[in-house]
Amino acid sequence: MEVDFSEVEEVENYQSVPDGRYLCRVAEVRQGWTQAGDERWTFRLEVVEGDFAGKTAAWDGVSWGERGRRRAKHVLGSMGFDVAGRIALDAGDLIDRQARVTVIAEERVDAQSGVKQVRPRVPFQGYEPVDEPF
């Protein structure tokens, strides 16, 4: 047998849904820290309806440092939290919260392996409340 592997591109593809806008719920939350030492909550967004229901749309997160609070306010507000003033939250409070989420593919080369990766990403303003028109 003779096989030509010269045309085979080495790409690690982590996308389980195509680019698009999906009704998602927070299915899992992991607490951690940013490189700057700020608390960060990373969460798995699961598609709620349609052909991709049950699939992971993306992993995203919010950080609680000064630089991350603006996005955290947008994300949490889109999930139905009252972000007009002070709010007390635990990471588990995000479980089952829903929002309409835009997911796009992001390509990059892994610095350690040199392999090209395709990962789903949610843009900075990629969240909308569920009651917004679809």
CATH number at residue 87: 2.40.50
Q: Tell me if 70 is assigned to some domain.
A: yes
Position 9: which residue type?
E
Instruction: Tell whether 134 is covered by a domain.
Output: no
pLDDT at 134: 52
**Would you say residue 4 lies in a domain?**
no
Q: Which domain holds residue 41?
A: 11-128
What pLDDT was estimated at residue 133? Answer: 54
When divided into structural domains, the chain yields a total of 1
Q: Which residues of the chain have pLDDT under 50?
A: none
Provide CB contacts within 8 A for 96, sequence distance 6+. Answer: 25, 26
Q: What percent of the chain has pLDDT over 90?
A: 83
DSSP conformation class of 79: T
Residue 133 covered by a domain:
no
Per-position b or e across 21-32, b if 16+ CB within 10 A of its CB: ebbbbbbebeee
C-alpha span between 44 and 27 (Å, rounded):
6
Residue 1 lies in a domain: no
- Asked, for residue 118, whether it belongs to a domain, the answer is yes
The answer to pTM > 0.85 is: yes
Query: For position 132, what pLDDT does the model report?
Result: 59
